[in-house]
Amino acid sequence: MRFAKIVFWIAAIWGVLVITPLYFMFDLIGRNDPPPITHPGFFYGFVGAALAWQVAFFFIARDPVRHRPLMIPSVLEKLGYGIAVVVLVMQGRMHRSDMLFAGIDLLLGLLFVISYVKTPSRTD
């Protein structure tokens, strides 16, 4: 259980630190990596959904046994982004430098799987 607590605390704090600045980088992203973003609703929707998952990670970190079922969609959240970036880089549609964040998400996804396996089920 201690392992899961540490993993999910790290994931939640990391996610908040990395995702929150995106709210203020809409125009900067378009300038540094053209073309500009043309669908702000999708962009801010992604940022909001990603930030909401960080809140879920905080909940899991506080009580891994109680919130163990949430670890499964947490793995999917990490793999969904990580795998998508890997495929897009392989297709030449994203920069190789984007693999840094994808790699971190894939590592966290693996640690979430390990956390799930190591965390006991509720035995009410």
Q: Is the pLDDT of residue 89 over 90?
A: yes
Long-range contacts of 31-40 (CB under 8 A, 24+ apart): 33/95
pLDDT value of residue 124: 54
| Confidence band, pLDDT 50/70/90 cuts, at residue 103 | very high
pLDDT value of residue 122: 77
The span from the CA of 108 to the CA of 60, in Å, is 14
Q: Is the pLDDT of residue 100 over 70?
A: yes
Yes or no: say if 51 and 19 are a contact pair by the CB < 8 Å rule.
Answer: yes
pLDDT value of residue 123: 63
Q: What is the pTM of this model?
A: 0.93
